[in-house]
Chains A and B, each alone.
Chain A
Amino acid sequence: MARLVELLLLLVILTNFIVLGTTRLSTCIRAVALQGFLLGVLPLALYPRGELHTWGLALGTVAVKAVILPRFLRWAIREAAVRREVEPRVGYALSLLLGVAAVAVAFAISGRLPLPEGARAMLVPAALATVILGLFVLITRSKALVQVVGYLMLENGVYLFGLTHVEEVPFLVEAGVLLDVFVGVFIMGIVVFHINREFDSLDSTRLSELVDR
């Protein structure tokens, strides 16, 4: 089981890199959907006792993060004329290298923190790396949709960290968090849709009318 958990976490880190390195918006969404699926499977791998609430959490996560939200995001951009990201503030090759640096930093930080034992030991670095990379994508990309993807990555990272406590934080609470994330991304998607309609593009650098005079 520990081997499976390691593999899953490695794949999660790799999906972060996919988002960092791709130019296509649809690939970004698919990568985050894959990440959501992996996150849904992780509780089952971590706690193979298979209680009902673990299964419920897994199914709910997969349903929301891997199916519903990606579909909704695709709907939000379906009228977008542009399918590719314009060259972001930090170029793709540099983003990949910074991504590796971020993973190294995450591992380094986790090395200093007193960690829980066993299979969870790789959870914390993977969680921190996903959080850092989510923030990175959010900050350096200019298309509104990719920023939403970055936010999803950030939330996934926080969720990963929360998995170290699944036993203590009961199902109802995790469901509440999931619901909040769902509604949040839902509202963001609607705003993205409106941005697309209003500005005929998803370029958030166009949103610069409000300034202090």
Chain B
Amino acid sequence: MSWSALLGLAIVLGLAPLLPGVAAKTRARLTGRRGAPLLQLYRDLARLWRKGVVYSRTTTFAFRVAPVVLVVTAVLAACLVPLDGRRALVGFSGDFVAFAALLALGRFALVLAAWDTGSSFEGMGASREVTVAAFAEPALFLTFVALVLASGSLSLGGALGAPLAAAWPSAAPALALVTASLFLVLLAEGSRVPVDDPATHLELTMIHEVMVLDHSGLDLALILYGGALKLSLFGALLVGAVAPRAEIPPAIAVGVLVAGLLVVAMAVGVVESVMARLRLSRVPQFLTAASALAALAVILLLVR
């Protein structure tokens, strides 16, 4: 339980709502608008905190529990990622499976809540979300396999930490492919363009937003925060794969992480301003491309 890991966790937990703001601001600026303030999501969360919650009569405990499960699983998953570049708060062999499982649990809770409402909009959103996840999971696992192959360590702490830093020079092309694949998965899991446009207001075109239509007040705040935290976790994975920070002092490593997260958020904003949302039937193709990139990386690492 090193202090730098705790510091990294605290900073990521606190900084998570900034990332969607940065992405939105970048997108707005690139399309010629001024855009919402950077700290808008913080203000939204505070506002929602003060509001009361409305529950539909058709819902059960699943609806009430889901937002909490989402945030708790996201925080637990954050404990598994080596945010200071060296070791995670909690690490064990095979913990990348636990990482994916925790995030899947959070998603599952949201899906249950969506079904619980009995509304067709939420049901549609839930089925779309699960479809996207079904295609994104193989890509994610293939990137994990590639990282494990490159670093030789079965734990996320090692796969993104010192062993990876040692393997970086020789495995650079494969890791470039891993980075690309992780970015595509980030776009999918974070419900960003080209998979899901966060700025749309047409329910029939939404995936994630429409799934959480019925939540209000504190629940909605928790869900928004959970989404932002998920985005920053994937961003942390990305930064870990690109910039191994095992050699530099921990405090600076955390600083590099923050900078990397901001860069990732800006990249997301750039992608959102350049591309349009894909037709839903093309999303599996998009994610298969991500899987293909990761699989290529695995092949390259296997023949090394």
- A residues with CB within 8 A of B: 3, 6-7, 10, 13-14, 17, 21, 92-93, 96-97, 99-100, 103-104, 107, 111, 125
13 contacts between A and B (CB under 8 A): A6-B173, A7-B173, A13-B296, A17-B292, A17-B296, A21-B289, A92-B288, A93-B284, A96-B289, A97-B292, A100-B292, A104-B299, A111-B303
| B60 contacts partner chain A, Cβ-Cβ < 8 Å | no
> Main SS of the interface on chain B?
helix
Would you give the shortest CB distance from A30 to chain B, in whole angstroms? 17
> Which residues of B are found within 8 Å of A125, using beta-carbon distances?
303
| B145 contacts partner chain A, Cβ-Cβ < 8 Å | no
Contact A100 B285 (CB under 8 A): no
Most buried by A among B172, B177, B288, B302: B288
Known: A3-B172, A6-B173, A10-B173. Contact between A96 and B299, CB under 8 A? no
Contact B172 A17 (CB under 8 A): no
Known: A21-B289, A111-B303. Contact between A103 and B296, CB under 8 A? yes
| B266 contacts partner chain A, Cβ-Cβ < 8 Å | no
Would you give the shortest CB distance from B303 to chain A, in whole angstroms? 5
The answer for the CA separation of A104 and B295 in the assembled complex, in Å, is 9
Q: Contact check: which of A21, A92, A100 meets B296 at CB < 8 Å?
A: A100
In the complex, which residue of chain B has the Cβ closest to the Cβ of A17?
B292
Starting from the known contacts A93-B284, A96-B289, A104-B299, 17 additional A-B residue pairs (CB-CB under 8 Å) come to A3-B172, A7-B173, A10-B176, A10-B177, A10-B300, A13-B296, A14-B296, A17-B292, A17-B293, A21-B289, A21-B292, A93-B288, A96-B285, A96-B292, A99-B292, A100-B299, A103-B296
Q: Contact check: which of B176, B288, B299, B303 meets A97 at CB < 8 Å?
A: B288
The answer for the CA separation of A100 and B176 in the assembled complex, in Å, is 17
> Which residues of B are found within 8 Å of A17, using beta-carbon distances?
289, 292-293, 296
Most buried by B among A3, A6, A93, A125: A93
In the complex, which residue of chain A has the Cβ closest to the Cβ of B297?
A10
